[in-house]
Structure 1
Amino acid sequence: MTLTINPALDISTSTPRVIRDHKLRCGASRIDPGGGGVNVARTIRNLGGDALAIYAAGGLTGATYRQLLEAEGVPSLAVPIAGTTRESFTVDETESSEQFRFVLQGPEFSEAEWRACLATLEEAIVPGGYVVASGSLPPGVPTDFYAQVARLAHKHDARSIVDTSGEALAAALAEGVYLVKPSLRELSELVGRALTSEQDEVDAAAELVARGSAQLVGLTLGEAGAVLASGSGVIRLPVPKVQVQSVVGAGDAFLGAFVWRLSQGLDPELAFRSAVAAGSATAAKPATEMCAIAEVEALEKLLPEATRY
């Protein structure tokens, strides 16, 4: 199951050039139900699995969000809030192939609302399953929210997986999680030093495992590939070459495929290969469209053997 306390209605469009002070005429637009945990659940659904997506929603935007998610056939539970579900806006500049992303702040939560999200999650946890908590925290939600999620997962013998940043990520890792997916910047902040070489990246990912912060660390590096650290060591994979259309949701697809394969009983290193392929497959899709299983399987075949450290 996944938890998204700060989902976003993702609006995507394009314009020839982004120019200040000009009225910019845009092309066709697309709307997707976005946000970390929901995108993870959407990925798992596309790959042939099922993951319950728990998310907070409110206002007219929240109603639209719920309709879109239900139309995709993703099993879900919406926790009602008084505020209005946020929007995110992505503009592709067609002349340069650059992408501009505007991520709005989420609505203010009351204590009763964020506690309702935790209560809904606890009621749905399946012992032996996976709990994926992903995305930013909106105003009013305490920094240790994801640490509390990890604590609930441990209490019910489930594996906790966290994908966030800053103080919320540090607090969750202090609690200890099964899997974490940091970016290079996030990993650098966690270990308190600059990571300027491949060996630095490997050492930092292994350090989180040695600390007991996470059993698995999936470091995503964009075009530079990805690193997996575990108690068995550290491996690295490049990303397959694709024509990138939108990086929105690529990291969520990585995580979704990883969890999906783990839930099937695959070894973490094999699951990692599917994750790398899924991230690349999603980057080749427009807007916040998630990858399909045939695309993931095709790219996975192109991956070489992993480099071991």
Structure 2
Amino acid sequence: MKRIKMKNFDIVTLTINPALDKSANFSGLIPEQKIRCETPRYDAGGGGINVSKAISRLNGESMCIYTSGGPIGLMLQECFEKETIASQVILTKNWTRENFVAYDVSTQSQYRFGFPGTAISETEQAQIMATITNLKPKYLVISGSINEGLSSSFYQAICVLMKNSDTKIIVDTAGEALQKVLETGVYLIKPNIGELAKLMNVERLELNGVEAAAKKLIQNQSVEIVVVSLGPNGAILVTKDQTEFVAAPAVIKKSTVGAGDSMVGAMVWALSQNKSFKEVLKWGVSCGTAATMNEGTQLFNRDDAMKLFEDMK
């Protein structure tokens, strides 16, 4: 366990509901029969953890705050420490969850099994809050789902806590938790087009309605930057005065796990490097796309991302 107290970090990521990601290949999905998988791969996963890993792949630095409980939590910590990323671990009584990703080589189909996170006590919640308050970063990335039994306003409470600081808060979550943080106001969100539609209380949004929907959130002072991921079509970045679109390059897709986290990590890194919004979006799309080129839960390869970014120029 690494606890870095002296150094200040411009970027801090928070993962309250991490997961030990297990991935394996198999051939042929047949009901009622035993499916034999190849040797599994284990990775430390969860929104903020993946964001920190993405930043590290771009030679950036971040402080990763995450929870860990039980034997599964210890395995997750061992996996994450191989990344040599600064971290502060908040120990929990309940066990960390597992996720499973299975790839059928015979049909080239991926199956993703996600499990809920266990409850976090009030004492553990207070420890999360105190840790963030003491760090005071330039960028705070709150990413991932919320644990079972935890209030949907937990992320909002963090935003309220940091409201009068100079910290720019980036939130990548969904559902009621995302709606709540918008009531307080944040710096950047990254919904997909379906999540944006829910924020607008409509069943669906067409591509030509994305910019107007994002502008409405900005005009309501809910957020300063809205990045809408469009899957294989790319992404749109919208601010009060600017709209940028970047098409996703065509690649052979092997896995979508961590693509969104890779995108967020790359964008936060680019923001911390004072890149233009156009470049921020290009880095996000290139790293998010590069993540789909790898199997399982490996995120992106830096060389792949660099090549895709250069090709965009």
Where do residues 221-240 of structure 1 align in structure 2 (5 Å cutoff)?
221-240=230-249
Q: Which residue of 1 aligns with 2:6?
A: none
Which whole-Å CA distance do the structure 1 matches of 2:216 and 2:302 have between them?
33
Which whole-Å CA distance do the structure 2 matches of 1:2 and 1:16 have between them?
37
Q: State which of 167, 181, 194 in structure 2 corresponds to 1:185.
A: 194
User: Does the 8 Å CA contact 1:83/1:109 hold for their aligned counterparts?
Assistant: yes
Q: State which of 280, 288, 291 in structure 2 corresponds to 1:279.
A: 288
The alpha-carbon deviation at position 178 of structure 1 amounts to: 0.4
The alpha-carbon deviation at position 29 of structure 1 amounts to: 1.2
Q: Secondary structure at the match of 1:118?
A: helix
Q: Which residue of 1 aligns with 2:305?
A: 296
Name the TM-score, length of structure 1 as normaliser.
0.94
User: Does the 8 Å CA contact 2:244/2:277 hold for their aligned counterparts?
Assistant: no
Where do residues 180-219 of structure 1 align in structure 2 (5 Å cutoff)?
180-219=189-228
Which whole-Å CA distance do the structure 2 matches of 1:125 and 1:17 have between them?
50
Partner AA of 2:252 in structure 1: Q
Gaps of 5+ in 2: 1-11
The percentage of counterpart residues that share the same residue type is 34
Q: Which residue of 2 aligns with 1:92?
A: 103
The alpha-carbon deviation at position 10 of structure 1 amounts to: 0.3
Divergent runs of 4+, >4 A: none
User: Does the 8 Å CA contact 1:111/1:140 hold for their aligned counterparts?
Assistant: no
Gaps of 5+ in 1: 305-309
Which whole-Å CA distance do the structure 1 matches of 2:58 and 2:205 have between them?
35
Q: Which residue of 1 aligns with 2:86?
A: 75
Which whole-Å CA distance do the structure 1 matches of 2:247 and 2:66 have between them?
33
Q: Secondary structure at the match of 2:163?
A: helix
The alpha-carbon deviation at position 242 of structure 1 amounts to: 1.2
Partner AA of 1:89 in structure 2: F
User: Does the 8 Å CA contact 1:133/1:149 hold for their aligned counterparts?
Assistant: no
Partner AA of 2:74 in structure 1: A
Which whole-Å CA distance do the structure 1 matches of 2:75 and 2:216 have between them?
43
Greater Cα offset, 144-153 or 210-219: 144-153
Aligned residues: CA RMSD: 1.3
Where do residues 77-226 of structure 1 align in structure 2 (5 Å cutoff)?
77-126=88-137, 129-226=138-235
Which whole-Å CA distance do the structure 2 matches of 1:294 and 1:178 have between them?
30
Q: Which residue of 2 aligns with 1:307?
A: none
User: Does the 8 Å CA contact 1:206/1:234 hold for their aligned counterparts?
Assistant: no
Name the TM-score, length of structure 2 as normaliser.
0.93
Which whole-Å CA distance do the structure 2 matches of 1:125 and 1:291 have between them?
29
The alpha-carbon deviation at position 295 of structure 1 amounts to: 2.1
How many equivalent pairs are there?
302
Q: Which residue of 1 aligns with 2:8?
A: none
Partner AA of 2:309 in structure 1: E
Greater Cα offset, 264-273 or 5-14: 264-273
Q: Secondary structure at the match of 2:312?
A: coil
Q: Which residue of 2 aligns with 1:270?
A: 279
